[in-house]
Chain A
Amino acid sequence: MSEARVTRDGLAGVHPGREARFGNGLDDGRRPRERRMVPGAEFTSYYGRPVLKVPSWAARDIAGYMFLGGLAGAGSALAAAAQLTGRPATARALKLSSLGAISLSTAALVNDLGRPARFLNMLRVAKPTSPMSVGSWLLAGYGPAAGLAAASAATGLLPRVGTAATLAAAGLGPAVATYTGVLLADTAVPSWHEAHRELPHPFAASAATAAAGMALLAGPRRENGPARGVAALAAGAEALALRSLLTSAGHAAEPYRTGRPGRLLTTAKRLAFLGTAGATLLAGRNRAAAAVSGATLLAASAATRFAVFHAGIASARDPKYTVLPQRLRLRAEGGAPPATA
């Protein structure tokens, strides 16, 4: 539609559109430049619509996967430690829970795919630039190791293979527990990316909280000393890590404090406090108290993951969290908007 033709009478079909002028260039650009300064917390958007696309991930599948993956990964590390320090019953219980958790979480992941039948395409390439590819390969290594460790512990067969698998799972487990922080942070979602340095740390702590909770819930009382220590350490570390996450996220920290994610995070903190108190004060004396404390810690860990997940979704839905930090960054870097000429 836009091609000009050379005819005997000159050019035909030339569109002046491309060169169209505004106001016919009457004032030669001598008009004073009007630069609107964007004040503090004001921002513009297109009819309030989000700039980003909100991921279509289901909370149950993805936040659930992050919780279960953390439980499994940290559980494997705790199981190995329990086995090496002569706590076989706790070790066996944790190996079984890790296998259960990783199986469930893998099922959740496959279920969340738009084309579940193509889940094996995840292993079609290995891409370090894709946290999901790295995670798929981690799971491909960790899953069988956790399975072997659990099978050997449950049946008593092949003890050497079982020990090797236990150690392998313990080595890969912490990576399974923390890579999900990178998975979320490597997106344009403000509440996840603005805290990309901090996000893996509360994930590690939350995973340890869950694993300690599982050890208290499923392990015998006489073996639960270290688990109680891990619970206290992890809950403390989680509180600190979350605080630094909120500090560094700037404007994008707001979704963590408001609405559903805010309520979830408050719940998580309270549960973690109660669980830790129960674990340190009562769990050494009373089996039932240990189980209740353990379940509380598990719930705290799950609430943290769901809070982080929902905060990200909320931040992607509101253009404010996309536009404002970028605007402030531009201003900090030299003020003028990118009006390259």
Chain B
Amino acid sequence: MTTEETTGQQPPRVGFFTDTSVCIGCKACEVACKEWNLVPEDGLTLTGMSYDNTAALGASTWRHVAFVEQTKPLGGQQAHQPHADLDVLALAARGSATPVDEAAITPTTPGPPTADGRTELRWLMASDVCKHCTEAACLDVCPTGALFRTEFGSVVVQQDVCNGCGYCVPACPFGVIEQREGDGRAFKCTLCYDRLGAGQEPACAKSCPTESIQFGPLDELRERAERRVAQLREGGVPDARLYGADPDDGVGGGGAFFLLLDEPEVYGLPPDPRVTTRDLPTMWRHAALAALTLLGGIAAAHRVFGRKR
């Protein structure tokens, strides 16, 4: 299941670190993905879910930008605290020459709470993608071997093998992979397998204007993510947390992981996903026990009730 010993030719495992704290919701990733991978259109509807009219990942949506509107202040903003000790005139005198890092008020600073105690809206944006799990349920349960792990550690469907049994669909704890209507086969993000082979980064990462989507060797991304979380927490964002970065989690860690500013379920992600194949030995044991009980029950019934009258 995992890649073989590093031989020198083996490329390092690569993936995405999606830092949602700098996502601006431009959806360039969605567009670039569709364009590059020739993913067909899958409905032009208005969902009423903030600016999110993509709705969810699916057979024809391999990047999905979630928009969450909350009436919570952004971390570090102190609209609720007294500023009596702050000399506003001195700040004003510094004018526009104030370096951004030192400016007390920026366009994103919320105003004071209204009379009924509401603060300004906070807007979370996050670009979701296939997690390319270390222990991938879709790959485990695929009966045809259509799903496989590439030399880059990503999980890809071979479209010429997939027979559309649909078993990978409910197996995925993130609800990523799906059968395409009218086609029948299962589709999902390939981590731009064709681009990786040519030494290019995936289309979404390439197009991301804020580097919210970062592509690279997984080890390096994890280090970078740790530093970023520490930086944000230091800066007064205690809710910043990594999601899918821990190799000891229920799916062995994701090849794509995220920096989130709220609980995962707020973004539509499962809080504690687990690959169900971990429980498969137990299930097989119970199935065997049930089968033997069935045989035993039938035999017993013939012994007890089978006497000729």
Contacts and interface: CB of A to CB of B under 8 A. Distances in A.
Contacts of A119: 163
Contact of A46 (B74, B143, B166, B268): B268
A125 interface: yes
A165 B175 CA distance: 43
B174 interface: yes
B271 A133 contact: no
B242 interface: yes
Contact of B236 (A29, A116, A203, A204): A29
Interface stretch (A143-151, A153-161, A225-233): A225-233
Contact of A186 (B231, B271, B277): B277
Contacts, number: 366
Interface in A160-174: 170, 174
Question: For chain A, which range describes its interface: under 10, 10 to 19, 20 to 34, or 35 or more residues?
Answer: 35 or more
B297 A326 contact: no
A23 B47 CA distance: 31
A12 interface: no
B169 A55 contact: yes
A31 interface: yes
Contacts of A197: 282-283, 286
A234 interface: yes
A21 B184 contact: no
A217 interface: no
A215 B176 CA distance: 45
Interface in B129-184: 137, 140-146, 161-167, 169-179, 183-184
A29 B277 contact: no
Question: For chain B, which range describes its interface: under 10, 10 to 19, 20 to 34, or 35 or more residues?
Answer: 35 or more
Contacts of B49: 46-47
Given A2-B211, A133-B143, A22 B74 contact: yes
Interface stretch (A74-82, A100-108, A297-305): A74-82
23 contacts: A17-B22, A31-B238, A34-B239, A53-B175, A55-B166, A77-B298, A81-B298, A112-B165, A125-B144, A129-B140, A131-B283, A178-B291, A181-B286, A193-B279, A200-B283, A201-B286, A208-B298, A226-B301, A233-B300, A323-B270, A338-B243, A338-B249, A340-B245
Interface of B: 19, 21-22, 47, 49, 55-56, 58, 66, 68, 74-78, 100-104, 106, 109, 137, 140-146, 161-167, 169-179, 183-186, 206-212, 214, 226, 228-239, 241-243, 245-246, 249, 263-274, 276-277, 279-280, 282-284, 286-295, 297-302, 304-307, 309
Given A81-B298, A208-B298, 19 more contacts: A23-B77, A26-B104, A27-B76, A46-B268, A52-B170, A52-B172, A112-B165, A114-B164, A118-B144, A121-B163, A129-B280, A136-B143, A177-B294, A188-B276, A201-B290, A205-B294, A207-B294, A225-B307, A322-B270
Q: Closest 4 CB pairs between A and B?
A: A114-B164, A114-B184, A46-B268, A23-B76
